[in-house]
Amino acid sequence: MGENKQDTDEGATKLKRNLGLFDGVSIIVGIIVGSGIFVSPKGVLLYSGSIGIALVVWVLSGLLSLIGALCYAELGTMIPQSGGDYAYILTTFGSLPAFLYLWSALIIIMPAGNAITALTFANYVLEPFYPECDPPDPAVRLLAALVICLLTAVNCHNVKWTTRIQDAFSIMKVLALVVIILAGFIYLGSGHFHNLEAPFQDSKTNPGQIVLAFYSGLFSFAGWNYLNFVTEELNEPEKNLPRAIYLSLPLVTIIYLLANFAYFTVLSPTELLASNAVAVSFGGRLLGSMSWIMPLFVACSTFGAVNGGIFASSRLFFVGARNGHMPKLMAFLNITQLTPVPCLIILGLITLSMLTTSNVFVLINYASFVESTFITLSVGALLYLRYKEPERNRPIKVNLVLPILFFLLCSILVCVPIFTQPWDVGFGLVIVASGIPVYFLFCRFKKPAWLQNIFWSLECTVQKLCIALEEETEEEKEATVGQSKNASDEKGDAPELERLHQD
């Protein structure tokens, strides 16, 4: 029976646990280390006012992200479902808040984030071909579209290919930052201390400005919670999820701190604030004829970030569809590769639509408030479950001080923009609220027969085109195991029946 069950598990139409510890680390590192640390660390310096305060903000941003990731490790092992924030909000607060998070993520957060990263990749690939001017906008958008299509196809084809790309580009981007760090320290060792002589000069103490500095720092750490989106594909998540966090977040924090120290060593605060691409300015000053390597490093970094973003975000919408909060066809898996092909294609098309307008950069700023709000809600779910269900199984249980501290800090970061950026907050709330009528029309109320027929026809078409089926449930798997056992028993009884017949 054990053999039959194993065989059935191998052939079941469901997500497979193909991700190990190194894959988990590379997903976190690969998504966090996108274009931010190479392109725009000047935001922290702009709002903090001095090198010393900027470095403190970088350290505290990494520490805050680590605390958040540890809280999510408890959530991810206590609620071992893919989908991250969506799964935790659904379990704790119910259907409507979970749907609103999913709606916001589908409309703006995930596709816009992937589109912006793809556009950054395209800009840096094309930059060497246009040394005297900016690359043409159509060329940038076309290349970004090609990258999105290519990586969507890879994600559709094979999870192992996806993780190999993620592993390789995660290593490359870490090596790129190591090059920056070594070059900066060599420059410092040759006696160039002038930029560091007064590290706290011109420091800003206004709380609103410091909070905005933290926004810029935390933006560069965005992605620390993405491994929770693929918990069901992680081997031994109760062990590998926290281990991946323990390894990746301190690594990224140390590298970010040293990279910024290297930037400040080579570039003065005035030069850094005047640059739109700090890593390129750094390379131009220090690497001479090898300065072309910096755009290459940024391109590799953003390529890996797009790949990781597509992989993780598709699982979020797959889980939502499985729970009836997205169209059913988004919960189909390709029967040979066991990847959510329809979901990946839909996400790819929405991401491509973001490339048609430059307003996507404004929209993602609006969405930052929305995403921060739902992260705060997820940590609130951890605290609520600690109070409401103290006996619930928790393979990992962090000190209660950590989620309380993280919840308070996130609440501050969510509340401050209400006063400093009311229009952005208002537009973000409009995005969330627009999902309420959609939820009641398509998730709560019974659809009319004609609409059900349209959905059914569309689902059949998608199944045929993508060679896909709905994920096999536990009940169906047990039934399949039972059938396999009965078939095996009948096969074993056949010789005995034949002998009795002859007698």
Interior angle at CA 214, CA 212 and CA 219, nearest 5 = 100
Residue whose entry in the numeric block shows the structure tokens 């690939």: 125
Cα within 13 Å of Cα(480), Cβ side: 16
The one-character DSSP state at 386 is H
Exposed, middle or buried, 166 (CB in 10 Å: 0-12/13-18/19+)? Answer: buried
What b-and-e string marks burial along 392-419, b requiring 16 or more CB atoms within 10 Å of the CB? eebebebeeebbeebbebbeebbebbee
Give the Cα separation of 20 and 237 in Å (integer). 9
Give the Cα separation of 125 and 244 in Å (integer). 31
Task: Please state whether beta strands 468-470 and 332-334 pair in parallel, antiparallel, or not at all (unpaired).
Answer: antiparallel
What is the pLDDT, as a whole number, of residue 8? 42
Q: Would you tell me the crossing angle of helices 341-354 and 449-466 to the nearest 10 degrees?
A: 100
What is the pLDDT, as a whole number, of residue 327? 87
Separation in Å, CA 166 to CA 85, 94, 115, 242, 303? 22, 34, 18, 19, 9
What is the pLDDT, as a whole number, of residue 4? 40
How do the pLDDT tens digits run along the chain, 503 residues long?
A: 344 443 444 555 566 777 788 888 888 887 788 766 766 677 788 888 888 898 999 999 889 988 998 999 899 889 888 788 899 999 999 999 999 999 998 888 888 888 888 888 888 888 778 777 778 888 989 999 999 999 999 999 888 888 888 888 888 878 888 888 898 889 888 887 877 777 888 788 777 788 878 877 887 887 888 888 877 788 888 888 888 988 888 988 898 889 888 988 888 888 888 876 787 788 888 877 777 788 888 888 888 888 888 988 888 898 899 888 988 888 898 888 888 899 999 999 999 998 886 555 566 666 777 888 899 999 999 999 999 998 888 888 889 999 999 999 889 888 888 887 788 788 888 989 999 999 998 888 887 888 888 889 988 998 888 888 887 665 555 554 455 555 555 555 555 545 544 55
What is the pLDDT, as a whole number, of residue 14? 65
* DSSP secondary structure letters along 417-480: HHHH-HHHHHHHHHHHHTHHHHHIIIIISPPPHHHHHHHHHHHHHHHHHHTEEEPPPHHHHHHH
Tell me the residue type at 502.
Q
pTM: 0.79
